[in-house]
Homo-oligomer: A and B are copies of this chain.
Amino acid sequence: MASESLQAEVDRLRLQLETLQAKDGSALIFVGDYLLKRLEQLKVTKMFGVPGDFNLGFLDLVEDHATIDWVGNCNELNAAYGADGYARVKEHSLGVLLTTFGVGELSAINGIAGAFSEMVPVLHIAGVPSMAQQKSKPMLHHTLGDSRYDAYIKAAEQFTVAQGIITSKDSAAAEIDRVLTECITRARPVYLTLPTDIVYQKISSERLKIPLSRLPPPNDPDVQAFVLDEIVKLVDEADDDIVVLVDACAIRHDVREEVNELIKKTGLPVYSAPMAKSAVSESSERYGGIYVGSISHPEIKEKVEAAKLILSVGCLKSDFNTGNFTYSIPLSRTIEFHSDHTKVQFATFPGIGMKELLPQLTSRLQPAKKLFPVPPFTAVLPQENNDIISQAYFWPRVGQFFKPQDVIVAETGTSSFGVLDIPFPDKSVFLSQILWGSIGWTTGATLGAAFAAQDVGLGRTILFIGDGSLQLTVQELSSMIRHNLKPIIFVLNNDGYTIERYLHGKERKYNDIAPWKWTGLLGVLGDIDGSKSKSYTVSTKQELSALLDNAEFADAGKIQLVEVMMPQLDAPQALARQAELSGKTNAYVVV
């Protein structure tokens, strides 16, 4: 690891030197192809987006590329969601989105902001007018009519960590490398403009020989040694009464393996925050379930909060990820590991990143002498005296349906809350947008996730989405059919926005939606002869169970949509509790 990290640093420095020396030795390559070559090196196989008049030339190169396929989404927001979902499942790579000037890129901006918020590496390429046009600023279509050609860049600056504004072929390669490096090392979206007249300009391909690295810069060895001593001292004092709490950045900043090694060696109990569900194996005996502040299961809450020391890996303390900020873990008992710093109790150590620190810590620690008991994380099917598919029944029941290596995608709302307390099989992957919470995101994300699952050898992609949310982005089901993907889509039909009814306006009409014929969707959106898809409605526990037990269904040989009829005002316990807390904070008080 240390030598990999040093090699990455050497490569970065070489690239900086290249930029300054402007070496120009080797074979020439189109700017557009340079970009594609970099994406290929980073193992990108899909490009999401919508064609538009300022990106068509580049699209010729994409279409002709041997290993990168053009997805061609129904709209740009869905495409951005697709790139995000792809990046989450395809670790060590990134998602790529291509849009056109103004109209296209702005339609995608919520998707990019979501990737920023949730820390997902997405490259947003905007095809823009030629440099001549950017200088003379004519009133082209897709402009604001007032010559402000930089307005879209200014908007993008708010939601990306780097912007590569290509203005000449001379700086194009360095700009591409710079934003891609920012994207993959910081796990955040970046923005790149590609003018129509620069795509086909030829530049040196010399830089391509030096790979881009996603490894962070090496930690300072002296500081790291000091930090390690401090941590080991606290661990020793805690006398094995320690829990590991894994959170979002353990996934985003790629330390899952490091955490698993730590647990394997020490035998410490491990819990996860909602955003880290599936980061550590939920079938492990040392895994205790989801800690989410005061809305945790009482047993989990007690175990985590009573520990003498918490090793907190990649924490992200957002409202829905912490039971509305109800963590009861004092800093004096916490060590926080982050991608670019470490906190030991009250002291912060900038520059000491966990990717390098965690393995060193593992090598310093001994197996725990006392194995503190971890109550098993299970979900029991409740006995209910009715046929209704309640939330309390549904989630444990589908839990029995999950298989190892499933990719499980849960929409914000009843789905993301409901699935939390269900144990996942080994090597499954969980996708949800717990911080950003943009409803409709999962439709696009499922498309991207299903593509990535093929690439990395994962199994089925299973989506849980409410009827209200699916309406926002429904057309992307069409892209799944078109590309012959085979997700299983559970549409929770509870007649409107149930999460919002819990927050406010339970009986209000504004939380209603139009009723759709859900089982007719796949036929209309592309499976015209009915051979590529299958749709079902289940209204009772028996129907649901029978379907889940059907081997052909479980085998996911074609895209399948299951409309699940559920009561309008039923919600998972966790959602009801969160809504109660959140509702208090956001109350509309008459003053």
Interfacial residues, chain A to chain B (CB-CB below 8 A)? 30, 50-54, 56-60, 62-63, 70, 72, 74-77, 102-103, 106-107, 109-110, 113-114, 116-119, 129-130, 133, 138-145, 148, 151-152, 154-155, 158-159, 196-197, 199-202, 316-320, 325, 412, 434-440, 471-475, 478-479, 481-482, 497, 500, 503-505, 508-517, 520-521, 523-526, 528, 582, 585-591
Contacts and interface: CB of A to CB of B under 8 A. Distances in A.
A72 B512 contact: yes
A116 B482 CA distance: 35
22 contacts: A56-B505, A60-B508, A60-B588, A63-B510, A72-B513, A74-B472, A75-B77, A75-B472, A75-B473, A106-B110, A141-B319, A141-B320, A141-B435, A142-B436, A197-B588, A471-B475, A474-B474, A516-B526, A516-B528, A520-B524, A521-B524, A524-B524
A438 B103 CA distance: 5
A30 B50 CA distance: 44
A30 B437 CA distance: 29
Nearest to A201: B591
A470 B154 CA distance: 29
Contact of A57 (B199, B504, B511): B504
B478 A586 contact: no
Residue among A110, A439, A517, A525 with the most chain B CB within 10 A?
A110
Contact of A51 (B325, B500, B521, B526): B500
A591 B200 CA distance: 6
Contacts of A511: 51
A113 B102 contact: yes
Given A63-B509, A114-B103, A151-B158, A588 B141 contact: no
Nearest to A145: B117
Contacts of A437: 103, 141-142
Given A130-B586, A200-B588, A154 B145 contact: no
